[in-house]
Structure 1
Amino acid sequence: MNVVKLIEESPLGAFQIRVFGLCALVALIDGFDSQLLGPAARSIAQSLDLRVADFGSIFSASQVGFFIGALVFGPAADRWGRRRLLIATTSVFAIFTLFTALAHSFGSLLLYRFIVGLALGGASPSFIGLAAEYLPLQRRTQFVTILWAAVPLGGMLGSAASTALIQTAGWQASFYIGGIVPLLVALLLIFFLPESISFLVTQGASPARVRAIVEKLTRAAIKHEDRFIVDTPEAQGASLKELFARGRAVPTLYLWALCFMAWMALIVVSFWTPTLIQNVGFSASAAAATLLFNNIGAVVGTVLIGSLMHRFGHFRVLILSFFASAWAVGALGVFTAVFSHVAISSTLAGFFLSASCAGLIAIAAGSYPVSIRSTGIGWAIGVGRIGSIVGPLLAGHLLSLDWSVRDIYLALSVPCLCAAVLVILLRHSASSRARSGRDAFSVG
């Protein structure tokens, strides 16, 4: 019995929904935890006698940790088990979020947030890969993008909670919540989250353990003499070179370039827009409202993109989304005379940029064989994180060169246009692979 085909062809049932729900819960607290530091930075600086400028290094340490975590723990999840890695990384970012509340110096704060970023980055490939594996093929894109929407939704909740709790209970309170809740979620994972069934089969787990999962999937008794197999020839283990084997080199590089440009534009818009909007004369409260509109657009776009890709085609929708992103980002710099125009542009930029990023995650989750899926997802996210580090630095450099707000946003629209062209090339590569009958990058 081929367990991969069994899952892909099975109807969506309670067992798959349970797996998806647990993975979505991790995604939610991932986003929640990642947004706690920003609103609390000024209060922490006062408490620890630090400069607010010192938090640039702390934010960067978290981003670097996320980047390393995605690259290292993606392949590790394919080798050692996604359930095991997800429980471990969730526990680690919970513990070090609690430690953040106890930080007493710049060095300790820097170390704790680096480790939190490392664990958050490591969790992402595991919760995406595990959820994708247990989803029917026809519903995978829709549900993976909904799963990814839990991250910005959690970020909104984390930012709001941190802002509210600073006024009533001190900055430490949000980090206590951000640590205790993930520990409780880790307990849920221990008791209710199954391991990747393909991993169990390839690692030679007992037939009884595999049979128990299959019976929950099919809701029918399985004969004891049935043998379980997977259909991927690379099932002996994952490594970076497998992302470039069997003709996957070109589409993998296209995907990485797309992730770099998409996350660069996404993070620049979310990180720099409040400052740039104030530079053209709007108040701090208007800048905060602009960021809120951007986040709302991000959540809605991420939720909807999966259904649109499923209905109209993965690549067709993604091409249009990147072209729309270029227009919306450019509009942010051009239509700055009236706040309502800025708010609309910010909402649309959040919608299309986040939708594009979620679409890329869905393509990564659906394109690689199950044996290297977490590796593929981890490297795609990791390369995207490089863009999220480079983008804000580049925008800050352009601002120091006295570039106008208009010109900065117009320059940022160029990577979005390039990404649309790259999706066209990726579609051509995927079509060629589909015609040749090869296994990866045949979505859409």
Structure 2
Amino acid sequence: MSNRDIVDVKAWIDSRPISPKQWLILALCFIIIFFDGFDAAVMGFLAPALIESWHISRPEMGPILGAAMFGVALGALIAGPWSDKYGRKKILLLAILCFACFSLASAFARSPTEMALLRFLTGLGLGAVMPNCVTLLAEYMPERRRSLAIAIMYGGFNIGSGMSGFIAAALLPHFGWRSVLIFGGAFPLLLLPVLLYKLPESAMYMVVNKVSREKIAATLNRLGGSFTADSAFVLAAPVMQKKARVLQLFSGGYARGTLILWLTYFMGLFVIYLLNGWLPTILRAGGVSLERAAIVAGLFQLGGAIGGLLVGALMDRLPAKYVIALFYLIGCLCLLSQGVWGFAPVALAVLVFVSGLCINGAQNGLQAFSPVFYPTEMRATGVSWMHGIGRSGAILSSSLGGLLLGIFPGQATIFIILSLPALLAALSIMQHRSVRASRQIKGAELNDLPALSRTLNNR
């Protein structure tokens, strides 16, 4: 077998311009994440209607809002190992089917208990969607544009979350709260046949799992290749030992990086979800009018959408972890400044916008940073467990928000407290180190062509 018969799939993707098929993959993942964001945020807009319809109190609404978040965390933990075992596409489509069907079922819930259960099941699907989209897109985008592409995809989540409010406002007065949930479930179901036909399985996953060369060649040919069944496809990357997939995250030198990613993601989500859920209340405690508080809180989300693109573009040009750390640090300084000096409303709005741009942007950067750290055979597990463990930060901050406001009624102390996890996130990601090791591929060195020919893709 000659050199030209051996194709390193990652190197081939990195060396080529982005093809129309790769742009299509990005567009499809963007649409998936749009509905993920829609469904994740929609219950906040439906809460007043549910309280009125079922005559329940605000505390009784809490379990309904929190149930999906627990489901998201558990879904992420489960989906990663399954995706590395059964394929990114299969688990992603099952996740979409799960959250779409249970979103539809939620529209017919008859009590708060039923709604909480259905929202938990919806969350299982939602939790599996994001890390699988991140992993699939990361394995199809060239390294020079990967971070920006993932940031664009993640923008679908922010847009979907924001659009859920407008869609709810349009549907609620005429069709009631059930129509909004039907909308959020029906459209992803209609999208499934398109995804089944147009969305490819990861070529890198297929190489690692010894899928036939014909299928790999056909997939890469749709990206502009000209391969045949005689081509041998490889990955110039380490092959992990056969262990339980979660345990792989703590072997081969990956333990340190895994724990740092978990801690950084946890701290970032702690800040983001506390501000998402409690910022209007925090501002009201500081004497800001209700209307202005709503506007300033919206600026935090708007800043995040812009920050994700900015961080992604910079990560493709500069050392990624330093870009992420810098943005966390700037966000920390914005929060700390408002807490220490208590600026006037206009300056407050600017600081909140910049803090949203930086902290949300850095968090989006981790979406692109984490899949690069792990090899293909454990990539989905690594990304998913970062999401799942990190979600505990979101759950904790959502629960602690009211307690902190009770202990520290003024907004100044809350901003100072929130600057601490942002600082920890910056310091944590700075300690991250890549795993560098020269290993054999399937028992042979790349320059040992005769041995390599005997070991690669024998069918």
Q: TM-score, normalised by structure 2?
A: 0.90
Amino acid aligned to 1:133: E
Q: Quickly say closer, same or farther: Cα 1:247–1:203, change in 2 above 3 A.
A: closer
- 8 Å contact 1:141–1:366 — kept in the other structure? no
Alignment-derived partner of residue 202 in structure 2: 196
1:19-56 deviation digits (Å, cap 9, x = unpaired): 11111111111001111110110111221232222121
Alignment-derived partner of residue 223 in structure 1: 228
Alignment-derived partner of residue 87 in structure 1: 93
Separation in 2, partners of 1:238, 1:198: 20
Separation in 2, partners of 1:332, 1:265: 15
**Which of 165, 180, 185 lines up with 2:171 in the alignment?**
165
Query: How many residues of Structure 1 are paired with residues of Structure 2 in the alignment?
Result: 433
Amino acid aligned to 1:155: S
Moved more, 122-131 or 284-293: 284-293
Q: Structure 1 residue 162: deviation in Å?
A: 1.5
- 8 Å contact 1:201–1:210 — kept in the other structure? yes
Q: How does 1:51-130 map to 2 (within 5 A)?
A: 51-130=57-136
Amino acid aligned to 2:406: S
**Which of 397, 402, 411 lines up with 1:391 in the alignment?**
397
**Which of 252, 255, 260 lines up with 2:261 in the alignment?**
255
Moved more, 337-346 or 59-68: 337-346
Amino acid aligned to 1:176: I
Amino acid aligned to 1:417: L
Moved more, 376-385 or 202-211: 202-211
Alignment-derived partner of residue 348 in structure 2: 342
Report the secondary structure of 1:102's partner residue: coil
Alignment-derived partner of residue 328 in structure 1: 334
Separation in 2, partners of 1:221, 1:246: 35
Does residue 417 of structure 1 match 2:416? no
Identity of aligned residues (%): 29
Does residue 210 of structure 1 match 2:222? no
Structure 1: gaps (5+ residues):
440-444
Q: Judging by fraction of residues, say which structure has more helix.
A: 1
Separation in 2, partners of 1:237, 1:131: 25
Q: Quickly say closer, same or farther: Cα 1:98–1:388, change in 2 above 3 A.
A: same
Q: Structure 1 residue 165: deviation in Å?
A: 2.2
Alignment-derived partner of residue 18 in structure 1: 24
Does residue 137 of structure 1 match 2:118? no
Separation in 1, partners of 2:418, 2:308: 21
1:392-433 deviation digits (Å, cap 9, x = unpaired): 32332222224422111101101111222222222xx33xx4
Q: Quickly say closer, same or farther: Cα 1:9–1:416, change in 2 above 3 A.
A: same
1:166-205 deviation digits (Å, cap 9, x = unpaired): 2333222211111111112222111111111223233343
**Which of 4, 8, 14 lines up with 1:2 in the alignment?**
8
Moved more, 335-344 or 353-362: 335-344
Q: Structure 1 residue 238: deviation in Å?
A: 6.5
Separation in 1, partners of 2:274, 2:319: 28
Amino acid aligned to 1:226: S
- 8 Å contact 2:408–2:414 — kept in the other structure? no
Separation in 2, partners of 1:56, 1:228: 51
Instruction: State the structure with more CA Rg.
Output: 2
- 8 Å contact 1:15–1:216 — kept in the other structure? yes
1:300-330 deviation digits (Å, cap 9, x = unpaired): 1112111012223212211211111101222
Q: TM-score, normalised by structure 1?
A: 0.93
> Root-mean-square deviation (CA), in Å?
1.9
Separation in 2, partners of 1:395, 1:170: 30
Structure 2: gaps (5+ residues):
1-6, 441-459
Report the secondary structure of 1:104's partner residue: coil
Report the secondary structure of 2:113's partner residue: helix
Q: Structure 1 residue 240: deviation in Å?
A: 0.8
Separation in 2, partners of 1:437, 1:289: 53
Amino acid aligned to 1:348: V
Q: Structure 1 residue 164: deviation in Å?
A: 3.2
1:93-122 deviation digits (Å, cap 9, x = unpaired): 111111111111011100111011111001
**Which of 8, 13, 35 lines up with 2:41 in the alignment?**
35
- 8 Å contact 2:265–2:390 — kept in the other structure? yes
Alignment-derived partner of residue 442 in structure 1: none
Separation in 2, partners of 1:321, 1:16: 29
Report the secondary structure of 2:230's partner residue: coil
- 8 Å contact 2:327–2:358 — kept in the other structure? yes
Moved more, 333-342 or 92-101: 333-342
Q: How does 1:163-312 map to 2 (within 5 A)?
A: 163-217=169-223, 219-231=224-236, 232-234=238-240, 239-312=245-318
Q: Structure 1 residue 214: deviation in Å?
A: 1.6
Q: Structure 1 residue 235: deviation in Å?
A: 8.2
